[in-house]
Amino acid sequence: MSPPGMRFKSAGFAFAALAVLFLLPAVLPRYYLYLLSLVLVTGLLATSLNLVLGFGGIYQFHHAVFYGAGAYVFALMLMKTGLPAWLAYVSAPAAAALLSLLMGLICIRLSKLYFGMLQISLGSLVWVVVYRWYGFTGGDDGLQGIPVPGALSSTSGAYIFVLAVCLLCLALMYRIVNSPFGRIFQSIRDNPERSAAIGVDVRQHQLIGLVLAGAFAGVAGALFVTVEGSAFPEMLFWTLSLEILVMCLLGGWLTFWGPMLGAAIIVVLRTWVGIYTDYWTLILGVILMLLIYFLPDGVLGRARKKKTIENPVAGAGKV
């Protein structure tokens, strides 16, 4: 356990970092605020995947379908109903959680790669419906000009809102991971047979984890629409799921903050690469190959392992 002085110092640093983040709209140009908003949204999405992948050991290979479902439900409610915007923000994670529950009930009897492959198949069916239903979802054109609330229509307003919601969601996920449920969830990841032998309902815990991860992905989808003002079928496509997976692996999929770091690296790199070439998928494949060979634990995972080797007592803390 950390000494009181160290905890006080960490709390002071966290408070200062939060103050800086909320004050950035006063000093940063709009483009950088927009980029930071994308980093936050994508980081929330990657962390929601890691909730079941890194901490639950569930091979969730098509997480993007819940992200896209949340985005489309949010966008359609704003465009086609006269309901309040807050209800759309609530409905997005609820719809994504429901979709995650339905797909989980179908896939949960399978394990590891078989779970992931069946999930990709089911997610692709959802993508086809969105891609082809021109009269409702806009088909391959997507939905444009979504009327987000006036206070969030500016770049700075959207950034502050995204930052506040992301911090709340990250705090909730951190609490979940370190709760009794989270400890049981991690024990299932490490040894599902032993967990079942001591009376843990493995499938029930896995379903709850899937629903929670789907709900947080739905929040990320609604926040993306808030920032971009549009939704498109590629948000539900399996290649985006691969990209989210790479973010988790790059940052460190066995750490809580690793996916946020991986998302920041990938979003910035994708923006920079897009200036020079359209072959981002090729670059992503190269990154994945290099990760597997040279950094299998990710950036923060490698740092934690090095810290543990140098100082076993200090390295036992959270990264």
User: What are 47-60's pLDDT values in tens digits?
Assistant: 999 999 999 999 99
Strand stretches in the chain, DSSP E: none
2 vs 187, more confident: 187
* Alpha carbon distances (Å) from 282 to 243, 279, 287: 12, 5, 9
| Cα distance between residue 75 and residue 22, in whole Å | 26
CB 173, CB 217: distance < 8 Å: no
User: What average pLDDT does this structure show over 179-188?
Assistant: 95
| Cα distance between residue 206 and residue 74, in whole Å | 26
CB 162, CB 41: distance < 8 Å: yes
User: What average pLDDT does this structure show over 102-128?
Assistant: 92
Half-sphere exposure of 149 (CA within 13 A, CB side): 15
Identity of the residue numbered 191: N
Confidence of residue 316 (pLDDT cuts 50, 70, 90): very low
Confidence of residue 294 (pLDDT cuts 50, 70, 90): confident
Class of residue 39 by CB neighbours under 10 A (exposed 0-12, middle 13-18, buried 19+): buried
- Mean pLDDT of all residues belonging to the chain: 89
Inform me whether the pLDDT recorded for 317 exceeds 60: no
Inform me whether the pLDDT recorded for 6 exceeds 80: no
> What pTM was computed for the model?
0.91
Please report the pLDDT score of residue 313 as a whole number: 46
Q: Which residue has the tokens 């901490």?
A: 55
Confidence of residue 45 (pLDDT cuts 50, 70, 90): very high
- Residue 71: name the closest of 137, 133, 122 by CA: 137
* Alpha carbon distances (Å) from 158 to 54, 164, 310: 30, 10, 43
User: What average pLDDT does this structure show over 13-36?
Assistant: 90
Q: Which residue has the tokens 């949204």?
A: 41
Identity of the residue numbered 77: M
Angle between helices 238-251 and 64-80 (to 10 degrees): 120
* Alpha carbon distances (Å) from 92 to 139, 179, 250, 256, 265: 19, 25, 28, 24, 27
- Percent of the chain residues past pLDDT 70, beyond the cut: 92
**Widest Cα–Cα separation across the chain:** 61
Least confident of 10-19, 107-116, 258-267, 282-291: 10-19
Q: What are phi and psi of 142, to 5 degrees?
A: 70, -165
Inform me whether the pLDDT recorded for 292 exceeds 90: no
CB 258, CB 298: distance < 8 Å: yes
| Cα distance between residue 38 and residue 228, in whole Å | 9
Retrieve residue 79's tokens: 């465009």
Least confident of 124-128, 162-166, 209-213, 276-280: 276-280
Inform me whether the pLDDT recorded for 270 exceeds 60: yes
Confidence of residue 312 (pLDDT cuts 50, 70, 90): low
Please report the pLDDT score of residue 8 as a whole number: 61
Which uninterrupted H or E stretch holds 42?
Answer: helix 30-53
Inform me whether the pLDDT recorded for 230 exceeds 90: yes
| Cα distance between residue 67 and residue 98, in whole Å | 12
Domain boundaries, given as residue ranges, for the chain: 31-237
Inform me whether the pLDDT recorded for 306 exceeds 80: no
Q: List the helix and strand counts (H, then E) for the chain.
A: 14, 0
Confidence of residue 235 (pLDDT cuts 50, 70, 90): very high
